[in-house]
Structures are given as C-alpha cells and as structure tokens.
Structure 1
Amino acid sequence: MISRMTAIALMVVLSMAQYASLATTPGPRVIIIGAGMSGISAGKRLSDAGITDLLILEATDHIGGRIHKRNFAGVNVEVGANWVEGVNGGKMNPIWSIVNSTLKLRNFRSDFEYLAQNVYKENGGLYDEEYVQKIIDRANNVEESGEKLSGTLHASGGGDMSILAMQRLYDHQPNGPATPVDMAVDYRKYDFEFAEPPRVTSLQNAVPLPTFSDFGDDVYFVADQRGYESVVYYLAGQYLKSDESSGKIADPRLKLNKVVSEISYSSAGVTVKTEDNSVYQADYVVVSASLGVLQSDLIQFKPQLPEWKIVAIYQFDMAVYTKIFVKFPKKFWPEGKGREFFLYASSRRGYYVVWQEFEKQYPGANVLLVTVTDEESRRIEQQSDNQTKAEIMEVLRKMFPGKDVPDATDILVPRWWSDRFYRGTYSNWPIGVNRYEYDQLRAPVGRVHFTGEHTSEHYNGYVHGAYLAGIDSAEILINCAQKNMCKYHIQGKYD
C-alpha cells in the first residue's frame, strides 16, 4: 500500500505535470503579489533571467512590507525588522553586505554579554550579578545539551520535541524555568528570538539555529534615518525605474494600494482581482503575502487550494513580535558600556521583559524600547495606547523606585497582528515539521507560486530568509516557464 505521505507527494507531482505545456515564449507575464523583501527579491531574479513583463501589486502605500520605518520623537525608528542577524561567521549574510558595504547604513553591534548586571527585580532594584550569571550559565549549558540531542533526531521530525520539553529533560524541572529571573533569562533567549514561547517552538529546527551556525553569532542593529527598508528599495532599483529627482520607485509595473482579493487559476493562466474591482491577467502569479494573510480570508483562491497545500499553510505558526517605543522628557535609566539592554524579571512571564536604551543609536532622543510577544502582543493590541503607557509607567517606576521617573510624552505601539495585510510579524516552525512540510509550503499549485520568509527552510523569520526565499521561488518559476521543467517533486516525509 502507498503511504499517505507518499500519496500526497505523488499528488503534487501530478498536479504540476498537467501544466507542463506552459508558455514557451521567453517573456511570460508574471504578477507578484506583495512588495516586501521576498516579492521584490523574486522580481529581481525573474528580471535577471529575462522575465521582465512583471506587475507587482502591493496592498499598502509603500514597498518593504514588514521592513518599515516610522517617525517617532523626531527620529525614524523601525517598527518591523531591525537587526541583521548572523554576522562575522563562515558565510557572508547577503543582507549584511548590502547594509554595511553597499548602502553603508548606520548599524551597531548588539552586546548581550552584560545582562547579568542588568536584571531588575519586580518591585525595584537589581538582582545580584553573580546570582543572575549562574542562571544564565545554567540556561546556556542546558541549551548545549539540547543541541547535542537535536543532532541525533531523525530528519523526518518524528522524534522532535519542544524546547521546553528539552529543558525539562536536562534541567530536571517539571515545569521548566519558573522563578522570575529564570523566566526573564529564558524569555530573552527564546521568545525574544522566535516570538513564541519554548513550549511551542521546535527543538530540531531551532537548536542550533542555522542563521547563527551559517553566518555567525553577531547581530547588528540598523539605526539609519534612511531606514532598513533602504535595502528593499535598493534591490527594487536594480530592475524597476526610479524618478531621477526624488529617487523613488516610479515604475508603472509597481502598483501600490492594490489589495488582492481573489486569485483564479487554470491551465490557461491566472486572473487576479483587487478590492477596487481591477482585474489583471497573467501567465503566472507569485504570492508573497505573509503566512498570516494566507491563513486568513483576505485572498480567495479559485479553485480552492488543494488539501495538502491548505494543511501545510495552517501547520505553521505566525508569531507576533511587538516593539513598543516610549518617549520621555528626560533620561532616568543607566547609560554607558554594558547598559544598552536590561530585563524586568516579572512573576508574570513575558510582561514587559526586554528593554533597550538608545544612547548610541538615537542620541538625545530620550527613547526606550520594550519588546513584547505572543499573548502579550495580542492583549496589548486590543487596548488603548494610554492603557499600555500606564502599564509601562507602572513597571518603570517599580524598576527605578529611587528615581524621578516622569510620565512618558509619547508612545508608538505597532499592531501587526490586527493588521489585515500582515496578521503577525514572522513565522515560527512548530514541533515535528521538517523539509517535507517546508516543501509543501513552498510548492507551486499549477501556475500559482509561493514565496516569503515562511518558505525559507533554514532562515524563516529573518530578513535574509525572505531575500533568499524570493530567489528560490523565482528559480522554480524560471525552470517551469523557460525550461519546461514544471514538476516540483516533494520527497516523502519518511523517505
């Protein structure tokens, strides 16, 4: 008997085979949905291959997607992606070369080595450095044990477990990190990276993390007034026409404020409809909408996507990572070497834990950044900014009881989860998935192709993952359109 996994793999090959007689002209028409990093990256690769009859439909009024700056307190801050993660290793992170060498964006290496000196008690004052360091060392040792275990697990993902299960295994704690300091250290190590807690994050896909194994352990914070989005504009400028005076993209092939509502596809081509009742036709479509959008009802596919594709889409998590910027009339927090990052060790896990001050990045701005994720992000998005500001002020006054902590004068709270064009910030790999599910997520359905950071097997959730995913998905389309190689093979999960 044929196993269910093998049967699904065969279905994908057969569904692609029926489209083998695709357009043989050297320049098929392609619609790209979404002008974020993956969409723009895919467009560049297609253009480089001679496929220049492109149309990019972007739902918002700008390109860049989740790489986006906003003016706050007189400076441009990044409400989305902020770091180049994975630098100074064996391989060159492709985003780092653009940021640091080509565009020369202002960036600063983030140093978390001093956290033991900067963990605040729930009701004020600092924890003893030696006490915190022992907890950090223990967490690192447990992670090293988990890394060794991860390397022994079968590639199918059948033996995978949560990071929390691994912690229980090696730390001999029935419930994992439980004290305020344990939780704060754990949150900074895992939630701050994956935007979801260790209880739902895959050990096999996260420990060790390919981004750092491949590109290096260093991370650099981009704090340039041109914005991190300059990287996307730079890539777009390689194939889209720009206005000579303003430098802005002014190519008729890029259409902003075009919200795609329906994609119809058949062996003859694709038809894309937008909410303003515009209709566009092409030979192929590349969907670079976020995983959160694919899991919503914003875009209707006609016919409905096959079951194996829908299951793959819903099998992955769309996490929420919220960076809250707060402006004050004066500084009251410590500055200097080793003081950039500090933690609030609340008895409530994930409650305004990770803080960052900007002495170097935005001097004189008097701005703090606090990061929340997952359930706290969703909760905060549902309340007013004034309520969030009040909670933050209460936390800060507890942290610094002997200081004159003035009321915040402004606050910026991004709402990625509530935004129908994103429905979250980036994907997280759940327990038990491997290349099989990834291949299904990335696989085309006839003339409908898919890309996005969520389709990056090794670097999902990262800017470089989105960039490389755009290239990879474009290659699949190029092979089909130009070489008549339209069969996309998905190896069985246990093969």
Structure 2
Amino acid sequence: MSRSHRDHKIVIIGAGASGIACATKLLEYGFQNVLVLEAEDRLGGRIHTIPFGANVIDMGAQWCHGEQDNIVHELASKHDLLESTGPVYENYQCVRSNREVLPDNVANRLKAIVGDSLVTRQLELRHCSGSLGSYLSNKFYEMLRLPENADIDQVIADEFFDNYKKFENSVEASDTLEEVSGRGYLNYWECEGDILLNWKDKGYVELLRLLMHSRELKSDSDLGVLEQRVLFNRSVKCINWNRNDSRVELQLTNGESCLADHVIVTVSLGVLKEQHLQLFEPKLPVAKQRAIEGLAFGTVNKLFVEFPQAFWPEDWTGFTLLWREEDLSDIRNTSRAWLEDVFGFYRVSYQPNVLAGWIINANGRHMETLPEGEVIAGCMYLFRRFLHWSIPEPVGFRTSAWYTNEHFRGSYSFRSMDTERLGTGAGDLAQPLTVVTMTPQSPSRDKSLHQQSRCDKPIVLFGGEATSEHYYSTVHGAVEAGWREAKRLADFYGLSGAVNVTKSQL
C-alpha cells in the first residue's frame, strides 16, 4: 500500500464490539492512522463484564447466540472459551403469586405450546400483515383449544401467556409485542446450534481481547494492537461532513476537534435517535433519517442478586413469575408497580449463589432511576412473595442501566411496525455518506501517465448491530458490521486483496 493510503486518517466513534472489530480489521488491511473515540471510560460498549460474586457477570451481552455462520463462535471456539448454558431457560419453574408451583405436566405442555409455535413462525409470518403479538396470541389460544389441552385451566394459561409475552419482549427488546412487525421478525436469522453459549468464568470481554490480540483485559492498560489508538471519555458533539476539502471535522464535547478523511459511526441506534438532528451538520439525507426513525430500539435490563449461600435445591434452575390478577392490585398504583415486569430469575453459570432477574419496557427504564435500596427491597419482596423457602438477605446486588446512560439509550434494535410502515431497513442505515472525488487508477504501461476517474468517496460510514440486515441485536452482527465498513474502505482504496475477511479466515 502506498504511503498516502497508510496516512489517511480514519476515526471510529465508539469502542464497542463493532468499533473494535472495525479498527483491528483496518490495521490488518494496512491502514495505520486509525483512532477510536470512546465516550465511556471503558472498552466494550454494550459488552460490559464486571467482577461480581464468585467470578464475573455480564451487564450487557451475555451469550454467543448460535454456532453455524456465527463469527463470534468461530473465533471463540478455537480457544475453548464457550460452553452450553444448558436447560436453565427451559427447565424453570412456573410459580404463581400465591406460591403455587404449576405441576410439571401442565407447565411442560404450556412451554411446548409456545415452543412449537417457533417452528411454524418461519412459514406463517411470511404472509402476516400484523404484529408479532397478534400472531402469537392467535397461535397460543388456537393450540390451547385442542382437545389434548382441554384440561388446562384458562386462568393459569392466561397467566403463563402474559409471562411468556414478557419473555418474548426481552428477546426483541420491545415494550409490547404489538409493536413488533410480524414479517419483520423474519429478517432476523438465527444461527443453528446452541443459542445460549456462555463464556465460562471469563465473560464476553474475552471477545474484545481476541479481537485486539491482547493478553488480558482486567484493566484498559492492555489494548493489544489498539495501544495508543483509543481515547476514552471523548464524546462527539458534532460531525461536520460537508466541508470543501472532503474531510470530516469532529467537534467533541470537551472542546477538542479533529479532522479525518473517514469517520465510522458505531454508536447505538438509541443515540442516533436522540442526537442525529444535532449531531450531523448538515443534517442527514432523508432516507437515512427515515431509517433512524423507523428502526426500533428498546431496553432490557438485568438484576443480579448474590446470596450468602444457595437457598434453592441443586437441580433448581430458576422461576418465572405468574401473577394472579387479584394479587396485582397489591402493587399496581403503588411505588412497586414496576415489579410487574420482572418476569423471572434464573441461575447464573459459574455463580453458585447468584440469581439473575430480567425486566422489560417502561418499568425497566423506571427501575434504572430508583435508589439501589428500593430495587433490592423490590426484588426481595418478589422472592418472598413467590417462593416458599426462607430467603436470606443478599450480600451483593447489581443492575444494568442501559436507557438512562446517554451513551446508549437502550439495549438493542428490532423491526417494528413503524419499520415496515416507513419501508426502511438496516441497509438504509448502513449506507455511507459520500462525496464525489477523483481517484487514481492503475497506471498505464507508460508510467508517466495516470488515469483518473470520478467516484463516490465514503467519508462517513455506519456500523453497529442495528446496521446488520439479519444479525441485528447480536454481537456477531455488530462484529460483522465493523468488518463490513473496514472492507468498504479497503475496497475504495483497492486493498481488499490485502486481507481475506471471510469467516473461514478467523
């Protein structure tokens, strides 16, 4: 590569999985003037592994979802970093708010009903013009009416399905399933194989180490190949992308500024939704604005509770909360109303005394604003209301808070009814901003003559999980998006042969 190509300044906004993947791939292509700006004081973005209990916990991304055609799995499996979480999220108990545990034969049949609907979704949703919520409701009650399920109490079935919808909302990051597009749901491609592979006692931070070829990530002191190329606590205030010199000016909130030949934006869709009208000067093209507005971005949060010792049987994996309608009046219209959307607590791998709870939608966002003591008291209320064991006081407690953090504003993206109504998608979000420029072509036999041609130079590029057409909401989608944008620049400079970025190269 010529010296001029090596010196082109490339600035990546965001040191999450997509930004780090993009930066390290650019270095492999031979680009050297690469800088990553990170608004937080740490690496990882929505990958956030912290010490807790006996080992570590992941506040954000937790599992590698699938094996086949999953570049995270291909990379991690070479180092024996992954293992199956097992049936934790299948063998849970269904417990009602009067402490009644659903009999296994009833719980298993209800689980089978919602599980079997997953198989038919791929075929039936292609012709669905409505929401995922309406489809699932029709499917559930249609199967419930079959003769073999006639003995299942309707009230219990309703309680189970209400809980199941909360679980499904946590998968989508939606507030309600009525806002999830039925057809849009099929845009997501599930990788075959185990979809709940955990990182043993290491945490998802190990992926960052692998990408950067660093020895350890106990602190930010070892950035591997990105050493001296990451600046923390650098939040971007304005991206001026229509300058006469075809460069991009970045103005930071701390008063600093810099010029770049190319900027790659990997911030969350939540940040783009909140800031894009002020962040870009001039404003983004209409198609790009429509993509930001039409693609959906929601919040899912976790609550980790550590106890002095396990109070549950060894073969117990966790429980889901089935509220009786008459019991909900005890918390509705009170300060504990948010507890209604905590849908379950489950065992955590390599954490013998820890249970992880999940909470969704507006109540999950409200939970982030509460004092820790109030959240702990709420969790203990649930444990003691639903479980018949004697529950000790916790010795450790942590919750995620993805929405109130201005650098994220939520957890991950999904395809909503608005996405479909506006006729937009990930491809529109991924489309780079370009300027027309002259680029040198391969010289003729007479080396004194050089051909030039007009081309669209990508000056502002977009990565992140929300720009992934089929793997949105996942880390492997984020990594692939980062690699895609690195390859876009390599192709522009005629360097795509320098590195083979196919999955088999990992």
> Do both proteins adopt the same fold according to a TM-score greater than 0.5, normalized to the shorter chain?
yes
1:399 partner amino acid: F
Aligned residue in 2 for 1:271:
249
What RMSD over aligned residues (CA atoms) do the two structures have, in Å? 3.1
Determine helix, strand or coil for the equivalent of 2:249.
strand
For the 8 Å contact 1:146–1:203, the answer to whether it is kept is no
For structure 1, the 5+ residue unaligned runs are: 1-22, 154-158, 485-495
After superposition, what is the alpha-carbon deviation per residue over 1:391-447, rounded to whole angstroms, capped at 9, x for unaligned?
Answer: 11111112223x211222332111110001111111111136479522111111221
Determine helix, strand or coil for the equivalent of 1:51.
coil
| Pick aligned residue for 1:424 from 410, 428, 452 | 410
Q: CA deviation at 1:69?
A: 1.2
Question: Compared with structure 1, are the counterparts of its residues 209 and 456 closer, same or farther at alpha carbon in structure 2 (3 Å cutoff)?
Answer: closer
Determine helix, strand or coil for the equivalent of 2:116.
helix
Question: Compared with structure 1, are the counterparts of its residues 308 and 209 closer, same or farther at alpha carbon in structure 2 (3 Å cutoff)?
Answer: closer
The answer to whether structure 1 residue 342 and structure 2 residue 319 are counterparts is: yes
2:285 partner amino acid: P
Question: Compared with structure 1, are the counterparts of its residues 341 and 108 closer, same or farther at alpha carbon in structure 2 (3 Å cutoff)?
Answer: farther
After superposition, what is the alpha-carbon deviation per residue over 1:133-183, rounded to whole angstroms, capped at 9, x for unaligned?
Answer: 2222222333433321124x4xxxxx643111212443457xx99721122
- 1:106 and 1:168 map into 2 onto residues whose CA distance is 35
The answer to whether structure 1 residue 479 and structure 2 residue 479 are counterparts is: no
The answer to whether structure 1 residue 361 and structure 2 residue 350 are counterparts is: yes
- 2:386 and 2:271 map into 1 onto residues whose CA distance is 38
Aligned residue in 1 for 2:97:
122
After superposition, what is the alpha-carbon deviation per residue over 1:251-294, rounded to whole angstroms, capped at 9, x for unaligned?
Answer: 22211111111111125210111122111111110000011111
- 1:183 and 1:192 map into 2 onto residues whose CA distance is 13
Aligned residue in 2 for 1:8:
none
Would you say how many aligned residue pairs link Structure 1 and Structure 2?
438
For the 8 Å contact 2:247–2:261, the answer to whether it is kept is yes
> What does 1:389-408 correspond to in 2, within 5 Å?
389-401=376-388, 403-408=389-394
Q: CA deviation at 1:44?
A: 2.2
Aligned residue in 1 for 2:85:
109
Aligned residue in 1 for 2:124:
149
Question: Compared with structure 1, are the counterparts of its residues 308 and 354 closer, same or farther at alpha carbon in structure 2 (3 Å cutoff)?
Answer: same
The answer to whether structure 1 residue 199 and structure 2 residue 174 are counterparts is: no
> What does 1:232-381 correspond to in 2, within 5 Å?
232-237=208-213, 247-249=222-224, 251-266=227-242, 268-297=246-275, 300-336=279-315, 339-347=316-324, 351-358=341-348, 360-363=349-352, 366-381=353-368
After superposition, what is the alpha-carbon deviation per residue over 1:350-385, rounded to whole angstroms, capped at 9, x for unaligned?
Answer: 632121123x5123xx22110112222112112111
Determine helix, strand or coil for the equivalent of 2:196.
strand
Q: CA deviation at 1:84?
A: 0.6
1:29 partner amino acid: K
Aligned residue in 1 for 2:468:
456
1:28 partner amino acid: H
What percent of counterpart residues are identical? 24
- 1:220 and 1:241 map into 2 onto residues whose CA distance is 21
Deviation larger for 263-272 or 159-168: 159-168
The answer to whether structure 1 residue 34 and structure 2 residue 28 are counterparts is: no
2:466 partner amino acid: H
Determine helix, strand or coil for the equivalent of 2:136.
helix
Q: CA deviation at 1:207?
A: 4.5
> What does 1:76-225 correspond to in 2, within 5 Å?
76-87=56-67, 91-102=68-79, 104-105=80-81, 107-112=83-88, 114-115=90-91, 118-151=93-126, 153=127, 160-171=129-140, 179-188=158-167, 190-196=168-174, 197-207=176-186, 209-212=188-191, 215-225=192-202
Question: Compared with structure 1, are the counterparts of its residues 254 and 301 closer, same or farther at alpha carbon in structure 2 (3 Å cutoff)?
Answer: same
Determine helix, strand or coil for the equivalent of 2:160.
helix
Aligned residue in 2 for 1:65:
45
1:228 partner amino acid: Y
2:208 partner amino acid: V
Question: Compared with structure 1, are the counterparts of its residues 479 and 132 closer, same or farther at alpha carbon in structure 2 (3 Å cutoff)?
Answer: same
For the 8 Å contact 1:61–1:256, the answer to whether it is kept is yes
Larger radius of gyration: 2
- 2:364 and 2:89 map into 1 onto residues whose CA distance is 26
- 2:493 and 2:272 map into 1 onto residues whose CA distance is 25
For structure 2, the 5+ residue unaligned runs are: 143-154, 329-338, 435-458, 497-506
| Pick aligned residue for 2:372 from 372, 385, 404 | 385
Question: Compared with structure 1, are the counterparts of its residues 445 and 61 closer, same or farther at alpha carbon in structure 2 (3 Å cutoff)?
Answer: same
For the 8 Å contact 1:120–1:126, the answer to whether it is kept is yes
For the 8 Å contact 2:263–2:461, the answer to whether it is kept is yes
Aligned residue in 2 for 1:410:
396
Q: CA deviation at 1:193?
A: 1.6
- 1:453 and 1:177 map into 2 onto residues whose CA distance is 38
Question: Compared with structure 1, are the counterparts of its residues 95 and 483 closer, same or farther at alpha carbon in structure 2 (3 Å cutoff)?
Answer: closer
Determine helix, strand or coil for the equivalent of 1:297.
helix
1:375 partner amino acid: A
Q: CA deviation at 1:221?
A: 2.0
Determine helix, strand or coil for the equivalent of 1:344.
strand
Aligned residue in 2 for 1:44:
24
After superposition, what is the alpha-carbon deviation per residue over 1:103-146, rounded to whole angstroms, capped at 9, x for unaligned?
Answer: x336443315743x611111213111111222222223334333
The answer to whether structure 1 residue 75 and structure 2 residue 55 are counterparts is: yes
After superposition, what is the alpha-carbon deviation per residue over 1:31-61, rounded to whole angstroms, capped at 9, x for unaligned?
Answer: 1001111011111222222222111111112
For the 8 Å contact 2:295–2:418, the answer to whether it is kept is no
What TM-score comes out, normalization by structure 1 length? 0.81
Structure number with the bigger relative contact order (C-alpha 8 A, sep ≥ 6) is: 1
Question: Compared with structure 1, are the counterparts of its residues 242 and 79 closer, same or farther at alpha carbon in structure 2 (3 Å cutoff)?
Answer: closer
